[in-house]
């Protein structure tokens, strides 16, 4: 292998390493964004579940009141 071939191979490897570093950085950023979105979705879900439970309780209370009124 000549010196020129060796330098070319080193340059090619250097570019490949740079590409891999850029890919890793992009994937880490995407992963972080997905984690944040998942946390946001989980928070929204918890909020909706609480609202659902509140609505269910109110409906049950109304049904109970209606039954009570019906019996009197």
Q: Where are the domains of the chain?
A: 1-72
User: Which pLDDT does position 42 carry in this prediction?
Assistant: 98
Calpha distance 16→10 (Å, rounded) = 10
pLDDT given at position 60 = 96
Q: What share of the chain is helix, strand, coil (3-state, %, to 5)?
A: 95, 0, 5
Burial class (CB in 10 A: 0-12, 13-18, 19+), 63: exposed
pLDDT of residue 58: 97
What are the pLDDT tens digits along the chain (72 aa)? 788 999 999 999 999 999 999 999 999 999 999 999 999 999 999 999 999 999 999 999 999 999 899 887
> What pLDDT does 1 receive?
78
């Amino acid at each position: 292998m000549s010196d020129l071939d060796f330098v070319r191979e080193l340059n090619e490897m250097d570019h490949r390493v740079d590409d891999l570093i850029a890919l890793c950085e992009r994937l880490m950023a995407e992963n972080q964004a997905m984690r944040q979105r998942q946390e946001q979705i989980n928070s929204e879900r918890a909020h909706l579940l609480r609202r659902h439970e509140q609505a269910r309780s109110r409906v049950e209370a109304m049904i109970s009141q209606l039954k009570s009124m019906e019996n009197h």
